[in-house]
Structure 1
């Protein structure tokens, strides 16, 4: 029996809720994967080192940890539908904060704007993921989340290309070396011109978010209502009594950390190796993630179970870590075989393995959510908030990556991902089955 009770007046078809949630997942992807292009951009205009530049991911993802539980209380008071509208409003404010940040080229203001955007996304993610899990049979929840992932990562493919077209067009000398060669007055003028190019894209984003507030607020999206948890937890008083959720949050911490590393550092890594199209390298990772989600949509649960998908993802991730840290930084043989025939620019083998991490871990998020939320009943909102807090891995693990990159080199820093994939393997084999801490 599903943990969701049918909302009053809810339509029988899940098409409308899936469509609206799909639009929200596109926004998640658009805002989230813009960071991959922002990092090398802000590194240059704010004159940062690699470690400082990765505070972009810290400011954005730490919001999920700081704000997840407060946002779950908002959901409890307002309901899921109004909570989504509030989240979109917070994101619109965050988008507008990019205007003074860009006009002043002040890195601290950029980080504040990113934190506000992350806060808005926190409430949206806390509300929307349970919707997708409970809108149909639990066994096919990973398939539905994979559809959302396709939309999310499709936005991730588009964002770096749009960023390059709208912000970097005509900037053939966009590099730290070019700016360093200018005198102080010329450099200040160039930085001001570059940062001002961010203003209009974020104005467009704010307008789109306001439109979406109306779409969600006035739609017939049904409210979620949950039954009591299963018999083994009928006397539960808090979410920490559900091991599958707590361990699931740790698994998502590991997953999001390595996902962000694969998507947001590939541009820095490529730039360091002299790859010409470094600003668009995030698109390569996103394309591989889209392929992974297509596998989820077509194969779960007909061919593979959610548990099997999680096991396969973790093992493939381990193999990609070995490839990223040990493969050649000069040879492009793997890319030549995979897509060289298509005319898409090829990249070094080591960078290719970083991009293929996207394929390796694509099904972790869709698989963990239904496994972790099973049987929570009225604790679903708290469980969702705890899982969302796992997104803080995107704040912390890239900083660990940055520190290793400073003291060793960027290629060796990808070893940070190995323990992440190993914990996900543990969760796939045992962690999701635990129903008590004894």
Structure 2
């Protein structure tokens, strides 16, 4: 191979510096300018249009914006370049992200990529390249100042790659705990990797470099680590593909299962209003007690997930869920409102564990990152099916259909039969919740039996500074605000849906229950439609913004026209709110490492506290204004917040070239 070295003034003028040759001898072009001179566009053209080019090395260069765009364009189109090296190349983080995302992700010829002495590499961008490029066999990321947090992100990406054979991460800041994650990859049954090198990595979790220290007291480095993959050297506990698929099915069913109690709360608000003679504000405390459980226990749930893994968190959540359901039986015989609120709090505690574990499991652990929104929308589509079942259970088995007028109540009080009536209304909740508790315990047993993917055990800790940086990303922080607003809007909308229908269309509670079932069916249809649109290439953020705007208009009709037309508009809001929770969730955690995802997931689940705040607040507005329709201004404002978030998310994800 002929080596062609171009440096100095040769780079800054229109050049035909590449040697002409009558032979077809392959060439290796080396560009070096000592970081000063600007490369002439014509030189890039000459290099990349020469079909003899096989290797390209960029050493000690300053790349400008136009250079990055040109490189990305040519690298994307290359069919003959097989080896590329960037050594001590200066450029902005965005420019390099552009080269990797727009150029190398779609390159079809490159076999070897070396990125060395680059201090502004973004680990998430490297991870995205690893996941999407299917030609590179050798990847070197040396002397790049990659932290343990960044190393964990790269390790997660390597689990999904099927072409890399050798990876060199020497001379970075990857600690020993993170190094064990790379070791585990070599034991995956279908991994193409044969060798991972972690040589002279400083354990930055334990040592701080002192500029005044001498060579003798510099921190020790990790030992030279070269892991070789051996045929059939597989951990005995690694589950087969069959078990991994089965664990995914079991977790997906949980989205259906927790939809039942979530939607039964709306039924309970109506039922407890009758059974305990409550005001709308007092009945709204059902949602407050319920979602307070989410808020308080989401953070402990995240700790348990990080310490013992998804499986333990799911089992514990199911046990708590079932226990709270069975407690409805003694609560009914006590005959007071407060014990029911405590039981609902216990149920919600269990659901906090389930949602904190199941959402990131589906979004992060069982498929590629670029399709996480679509995958989570599909799984979340089972949630409204559970909600529909919950409403039907409430309509058929909890609602008695007996609605007493004030005169009838007065007569029953005189006959001393009113207390018996209230007791019977209270007892109607026992059997449905007992059955739910039994199913929940059964599912806990199934999850305990079935092996889960080894990579979801999550016992390793990320670099603390890397995790903090990920959690402080503006998109993630905005996701928490948007999730708070959305959940408040959703819970408030459905909690008072039946009462809106009764107040303004004069339907009975059973008919109201059927209408609520219908709007939940629209919710399920909306989730499936959103997943299909994303599969067809529509931007999740743009879909989110569009659906939010439509819901703002529908809520305006609900408020301004409190009649059958307003009820119809309120009915349709469920369709357009359907994609909001999973899309906000996926956008918020996109690009995070697996361990950080568990903590981020808990913070997003804590945002569900919006449901505890909005419902009684809407009840208070309805009482003070004597108009339930006006209370729906609150969900309308929430959809405005979600719409603004969606537009910002689109801008931020596009700027970082993570929009697929």
Q: TM-score, normalised by structure 2?
A: 0.59
1:174 partnered with 2:403: yes
Question: Per-residue deviation at 1:65?
Answer: 1.1
SS of residue matched to 1:297: helix
C-alpha distance in 2, partners of 1:243/1:26? 32
Distance 1:64 1:433, change over 3 A: farther
C-alpha distance in 2, partners of 1:311/1:229? 33
Per the alignment, residue 583 of structure 2 pairs with: 367
SS of residue matched to 2:535: coil
Query: Which of residues 641, 650, 654 is equivalent to 1:423?
Result: 641
C-alpha distance in 1, partners of 2:311/2:410? 50
C-alpha distance in 1, partners of 2:259/2:336? 25
C-alpha distance in 2, partners of 1:97/1:228? 37
Question: Per-residue deviation at 1:32?
Answer: 0.7
Q: 1:33, 1:156 within 8 Å by CA — same for their partners in 2?
A: yes
Q: 1:160, 1:282 within 8 Å by CA — same for their partners in 2?
A: yes
Q: 2:486, 2:581 within 8 Å by CA — same for their partners in 1?
A: yes
C-alpha distance in 2, partners of 1:143/1:92? 30
Distance 1:12 1:172, change over 3 A: closer
* More divergent stretch after superposition (106-115 vs 288-297): 288-297
Residues 288-321 of structure 1, C-alpha deviations (whole Å, 9 max, x = no match): 1112112122211314121122111211111111
Q: 2:305, 2:357 within 8 Å by CA — same for their partners in 1?
A: yes
C-alpha distance in 1, partners of 2:498/2:423? 23
1:354 partnered with 2:555: no
Question: Per-residue deviation at 1:133?
Answer: 0.6
Query: Which of residues 398, 402, 411 is equivalent to 2:629?
Result: 411
Equivalent positions of 1:116-135 (< 5 A) are: 116-134=346-364, 135=366
Residues 177-223 of structure 1, C-alpha deviations (whole Å, 9 max, x = no match): 44454116201001111211221212111111110111111112224
Equivalent positions of 1:51-130 (< 5 A) are: 51-130=281-360
Per the alignment, residue 284 of structure 1 pairs with: 518
SS of residue matched to 1:156: helix
Q: 1:30, 1:155 within 8 Å by CA — same for their partners in 2?
A: yes
C-alpha distance in 2, partners of 1:73/1:292? 33
Structure 2: give runs of 5+ residues left out of the alignment: 1-126, 132-152, 160-183, 189-237, 654-660
1:318 partnered with 2:577: no
Question: Per-residue deviation at 1:417?
Answer: 1.4
Alignment length (residue pairs) = 414
Q: 1:309, 1:367 within 8 Å by CA — same for their partners in 2?
A: no
Q: 1:371, 1:432 within 8 Å by CA — same for their partners in 2?
A: no
Question: Per-residue deviation at 1:236?
Answer: 4.4
Residues 93-139 of structure 1, C-alpha deviations (whole Å, 9 max, x = no match): 11122112212221111111111100000011000000111221223
Question: Per-residue deviation at 1:386?
Answer: 0.5
Distance 1:114 1:228, change over 3 A: closer
Per the alignment, residue 21 of structure 1 pairs with: 251
Per the alignment, residue 32 of structure 2 pairs with: none
Query: Which of residues 203, 216, 238 is equivalent to 2:434?
Result: 203
C-alpha distance in 1, partners of 2:411/2:462? 64
Higher relative contact order (CA 8 A, sep 6+): 1
Q: Larger Rg: 1 or 2?
A: 2
Cα RMSD, aligned residues only? 2.4
1:299 partnered with 2:533: yes
SS of residue matched to 1:182: helix
Bigger share in helix: 1
SS of residue matched to 1:34: helix
Bigger share in strand: 2
Structure 1: give runs of 5+ residues left out of the alignment: 330-347
C-alpha distance in 2, partners of 1:143/1:181? 57
Q: TM-score, normalised by structure 1?
A: 0.88
